[in-house]
A and B are shown apart, each in its own frame.
Chain A
Amino acid sequence: MTIVRLRRLALTAVALAGAAGPAAAQPAPDSRETRIAVLVSQEAPPYRQALAGFTRALERRGLKVSVRVGSLEGDGAKAAQALAAARPEQAQLILTLGTLATQAVAARKDLTAPVVTGLVLRVSDLGGANATGVVLEFPVETELRWLQRFFPGRRAVGVLYHPDENRSRIEAAVRTAQALGLTLVARSVERARDLPDELESLANRADLLWGVADSVVLTPQTAKPILLFSYRNRIPFVGLSQSWVKAGALYALDRDYDDIGAQCAELAFKVLRGTPPSALPPEPPRKLVYSINLRTARHMKLEIPDALLKGAQEVVD
């Protein structure tokens, strides 16, 4: 019964069409079930996949849960409506997927249920002391070690970042790079319009360009100058996701969002069994996938080892 019901709710979550609608539209919870309120920032595929992974993992755990879902539909102004749909005040655990959803829950000081968060970039995006979760960023060391796998002979790693967003990550990267025998050539970019100058300053100093998630430096608007710079100067750019690889980045580490949902479910399970969120350190994605653009590799006269090609989730050609 529970499984069937969970599946239906998962489907509801996938569709999400009525998720932000009247709360009465969702079935009333069984008193023996664990009530979970889910708030999602929007309805894009990664959120749907993560929610599906979350519910599926709880099914596998045999937990009887009642899930109510609210969606902000990418609009912070819809927080109240989404919260009304999810009913977090009645929940024993809140799952937030995305920064907007996490911020909306954090803003409700009256909520006491522990929070598990997924699909936020970094630890600072988690929702406070009563929260844990899975962040999207891979550890700096993981990213730098992958750089070394792809470019064993290249040492000067160029990186552009906005200081407000990424100073601490870049400082950590400088130390880690040094330990790994790499040199980080970091350029601080205050405004997007400063980007061309900073890029040009890397033309003869960087062997490759490492992309870090940054809302000023790496956006659909800045993608073109960055990728054209990379192409022009034959400095491979390491993108943020498969989409960046399709656009011209040489490779990108990516996430399995379904598995991130499952990873959140593991944390949720522990929390529901009594472990306080503060005792559960935030985790990076446990599963790493990557894509490679062979066309870019050919232009840059780079040989990609067969082992890396075979392991890729997608090879763009």
Chain B
Amino acid sequence: MPRKIMLAFAAAFAFPVEAVGGRGTGGEEILFQDIPAVFGASRYEQKLSEAPAAVTIVTADEIKRYGHRTLADILRSVRGFYTANDRAYTYAGVRGFGRLGDYNTRVLLLIDGYRTNDNIFDQAFIGTESLVDVDTIDRVEVIHGPGSSLYGTNAFFATINVITRRGRDLKGAEVSAEGGSFRSNRGRVSYGDKYENGAEMLLAASYYDSAGRSLYFAEFDDPATNNGVAENVDAERYRNFFGKLSAGDYTLTAGYVEHNKALPTGAFDTVFNDPGTRLRDPVLGFVNVKYERAIAADAQLMLRLGQNRYRYQGSYVYPTETQREDDYGAWWTAEAVYTARPARGHRLVAGAEYQGNTRQDQSTVNEAGVLLDDRRDSARSALYVQDELRLREDLLVNVGARGDRYESFGGTVNPRLGLLYAASAQTTVKLLYGEAFRAPNVFEIYYSDGAVTQKGNPDLKPETIATSELVVEQDLGGGLRGAASLYRYTIRDLITQQVDPNDGLLVFRNVERVTAEGIELELGGWFAARFEGRASYAYQASTDAGTGERLVNSPRALAKLNVSTPFIERRLRGGVELQYTGPRLTRTRAETGGFTVVNLTLLARNWVKGLELSASLYNVLDKAYADPVSDSYAPETIAQDGRRYRLKAAYEF
């Protein structure tokens, strides 16, 4: 679906002046003219200036060059993004907002334009639990800012569209094997091709396991709890599968991931260092079929039907009992998108979506019996329309709105307005305003464990965000591009977990209001002839509008640098990644130190036909740092990994 936002405007400023070529000077000149080479150009650079949003694209090449292992690694290299890990999940923070305990509900994760946030927690899985192996990714398009006017709920701070590889990108089989610190191993088999009849297929399967590491927690430093050392309780395993088959106007796509993780942190007051506390989350799968074709000279229709399953199973060992949670979600989706140029100067995108949640079940049991057995079904539907109107050759207006209807809280309408001005062939100025929402999820509305710790709140409303943004994009020549974003947002009715003073139970309520301002600067492309990369700096100030206090887990500054260069006739490439994260407040408003992590990757290609080797060293300087975590944990922060390595070999048949 980001094609809607990217392609609907793809031509916006690509040709601000109608190209006249050889007309008037002699048509044969087209055969004689020098044509600029494209090898040094980003394959996607056009999309950046043409989209009515600030966009970052990370390509498969970059993923290899910097040794990225997960979607979280990729996002950490993107301006304005930071992550936190509590050794259960990886959480993305965006533009100074990284609420502790939030399961990535304020970013929308799409795979080939298909929504993959689950239907119970609305979680975007970005760590090792991600639905798509990084080796199956062709590129990741990060659309910064609110996107609900096209995508609905969760497109709050950003929309992340993972574009997967196609059969034609493989043209045969590939295998890869890797090993790294903490006895981590991963294997992958992929096959893809495009056949003479035009059909195209991609199949990819991967398996990962890791013994994890020993961890020390001062809060548990007692002989009764192994002196605070968690041993052999950090293991992790996943397997995933992804497949895509295209023939004619139809594309069938399926994905599946099953992720298991032991919890070494004594989370939720469980027995510390007990191997029985673990997650099987997610077990997530989908299959969809898409039909896409031109229905007229200037009109295109896309129809898609999908089926999805999600399961979360958690086992939590307490001194006298073991609590088991088992949530199951099943839903189907239908969407239609019509794009057309109904009149000169207009480009229209109109769409409809329906999601039928046939199962949204939550259950919790322990030895004493059933604490929660909540079975739900629901539906939501949406209509949206967006028009791009060319007012002048160098000025576009983009206006759109989407109305969503939920059975739980009713309706919401989210508009968007963008002015795109091509100040020159090199400079694009974008003035953007957008509103977005996040619908309360089933967990927040209905989770209640029988008055033990938490109760539901059927009166929850969606939280909303309004963002204004000024973006300037500049082609600096020689393959170098710069971008600056100045933004301000206000979040209202933020869904926040509180203790109800009447009964002492946790409950989610729409209570808080947040305001933030920030600036993001980015420079990317080629420099000094042989260096390629991206550098960014983000300053963000987000505060609780009620108290005026700075938000927790919100670094004021983020700085990133990714640079790679080839050696030895392009057979070897070195990639360096530096990421600075400023100090963050913990939940008790203590401050974690700022830190810089340096990662190095060497990538060897073209020594033996089909063979690719890479060696990565992460946190080369062995910097000690910790991420703030929610009050589900005894510690306020959890230490992150020090120096570690990965060796990887991939072979194409």
A residues lining the B interface (CB < 8 Å): 41-42, 44-46, 74, 76, 98-100, 119-122, 125, 136, 153-156, 165, 188, 191-197, 200-201, 204-205, 207, 213-216, 218-225, 227-228, 231-234, 239-241, 243-244, 246-248, 255, 295, 301
Interface size on B, residues (CB 8 A): 47
Interface pair B35/A220, CB less than 8 Å apart: yes
Known: A42-B26, A46-B31. 15 other contacts (CB 8 A): A76-B24, A100-B26, A120-B28, A191-B18, A192-B15, A192-B18, A193-B18, A196-B10, A197-B7, A204-B292, A219-B22, A220-B33, A221-B21, A223-B38, A248-B38
B46 within 8 A of A: yes
* Binary per-residue interface labels of chain B (19-44) against chain A in the complex, 1 for a CB within 8 Å, 0 otherwise: 11111111110111111111101011
Ranked 9 nearest A-B pairs via Cβ: A215-B21, A219-B21, A99-B26, A196-B10, A247-B35, A192-B19, A193-B15, A221-B19, A227-B38
Interface pair B15/A244, CB less than 8 Å apart: no
**Cβ–Cβ < 8 Å partners of B196 in chain A:** 153-155
In the assembled complex, 25 residue pairs joining A and B whose CB atoms fall closer than 8 Å, in A order, are: A46-B32, A121-B28, A121-B31, A155-B196, A156-B198, A192-B14, A192-B18, A193-B14, A193-B18, A195-B14, A196-B50, A200-B7, A200-B10, A201-B294, A204-B251, A205-B198, A219-B20, A220-B33, A221-B19, A228-B44, A240-B30, A241-B32, A243-B33, A246-B37, A301-B172
Q: Which of B14, B43, B194 contacts A232 (CB 8 A)?
A: B43
Identify the interface centre among B11, B25, B28, B166: most chain A CB within 10 Å of its CB: B28
Interface pair B31/A136, CB less than 8 Å apart: yes
**Cβ–Cβ < 8 Å partners of B168 in chain A:** 233-234
The residue on B at minimum CB distance from A200 is: B7
Interface pair B19/A100, CB less than 8 Å apart: no
Interface pair A225/B14, CB less than 8 Å apart: yes
A155-B196, A197-B7, A215-B20 as given contacts; A99 in contact with B169, CB under 8 Å: no
**Cβ–Cβ < 8 Å partners of B38 in chain A:** 223-224, 227-228, 231, 247-248
Interface pair A136/B14, CB less than 8 Å apart: no
Q: Which of A201, A215, A224, A247 contacts B22 (CB 8 A)?
A: A215
B171 within 8 A of A: yes
**Cβ–Cβ < 8 Å partners of A204 in chain B:** 200, 246, 251, 292
Chain A: minimal CB distance from B606 (Å):
9
**Cβ–Cβ < 8 Å partners of A222 in chain B:** 15, 19
**Cβ–Cβ < 8 Å partners of A100 in chain B:** 25-26
Interface pair B43/A228, CB less than 8 Å apart: yes
* Binary per-residue interface labels of chain B (292-336) against chain A in the complex, 1 for a CB within 8 Å, 0 otherwise: 101001001000000000000000000000000000000000000
Cα(A240)–Cα(B21), bound, Å? 14
**Cβ–Cβ < 8 Å partners of B46 in chain A:** 196, 224-225, 228
Interface pair A232/B39, CB less than 8 Å apart: no
Chain A: minimal CB distance from B478 (Å):
15
Interface pair B27/A121, CB less than 8 Å apart: yes
The residue on A at minimum CB distance from B294 is: A201
Chain B: minimal CB distance from A216 (Å):
6
Interface pair B11/A195, CB less than 8 Å apart: yes
Cα(A121)–Cα(B31), bound, Å? 9
Cα(A130)–Cα(B252), bound, Å? 60
Cα(A45)–Cα(B34), bound, Å? 12
Interface pair B41/A228, CB less than 8 Å apart: yes
Cα(A188)–Cα(B296), bound, Å? 12
Interface pair B35/A215, CB less than 8 Å apart: no
Chain B: minimal CB distance from A301 (Å):
4
Cα(A231)–Cα(B45), bound, Å? 13
**Cβ–Cβ < 8 Å partners of B27 in chain A:** 99, 120-122, 125, 165, 213, 215
**Cβ–Cβ < 8 Å partners of B45 in chain A:** 228
Interface pair A295/B39, CB less than 8 Å apart: yes
Cα(A228)–Cα(B46), bound, Å? 9
Q: Which of A136, A196, A214, A248 contacts B28 (CB 8 A)?
A: A136
Chain B: minimal CB distance from A276 (Å):
25
The residue on A at minimum CB distance from B194 is: A207
Interface pair A213/B30, CB less than 8 Å apart: yes
Cα(A46)–Cα(B30), bound, Å? 12
Identify the interface centre among B50, B200, B297: most chain A CB within 10 Å of its CB: B297
Interface pair A74/B25, CB less than 8 Å apart: yes
**Cβ–Cβ < 8 Å partners of A301 in chain B:** 171-172
**Cβ–Cβ < 8 Å partners of A243 in chain B:** 32-35
Interface pair A248/B15, CB less than 8 Å apart: no
Q: Which of A154, A192, A214, A248 contacts B30 (CB 8 A)?
A: A214
Chain A: minimal CB distance from B31 (Å):
5
Interface pair A247/B31, CB less than 8 Å apart: no
Cα(A228)–Cα(B246), bound, Å? 22
Interface pair A219/B36, CB less than 8 Å apart: no
Interface pair A224/B41, CB less than 8 Å apart: yes
Interface pair A248/B37, CB less than 8 Å apart: yes
Cα(A74)–Cα(B33), bound, Å? 13
Interface pair A224/B11, CB less than 8 Å apart: no
Cα(A218)–Cα(B292), bound, Å? 27
Chain A: minimal CB distance from B32 (Å):
5
**Cβ–Cβ < 8 Å partners of A194 in chain B:** 11
The residue on B at minimum CB distance from A119 is: B28
**Cβ–Cβ < 8 Å partners of B14 in chain A:** 192-193, 195-196, 225
Cα(A9)–Cα(B45), bound, Å? 50
Cα(A240)–Cα(B28), bound, Å? 11
Identify the interface centre among B39, B45, B171: most chain A CB within 10 Å of its CB: B39
**Cβ–Cβ < 8 Å partners of A121 in chain B:** 27-28, 30-31
Interface pair B7/A231, CB less than 8 Å apart: no
**Cβ–Cβ < 8 Å partners of B169 in chain A:** 234
Chain B: minimal CB distance from A291 (Å):
12
Chain B: minimal CB distance from A303 (Å):
10
Cα(A293)–Cα(B39), bound, Å? 12
The residue on B at minimum CB distance from A76 is: B24
Cα(A242)–Cα(B217), bound, Å? 66
Identify the interface centre among B19, B30, B50: most chain A CB within 10 Å of its CB: B30
The residue on A at minimum CB distance from B26 is: A99
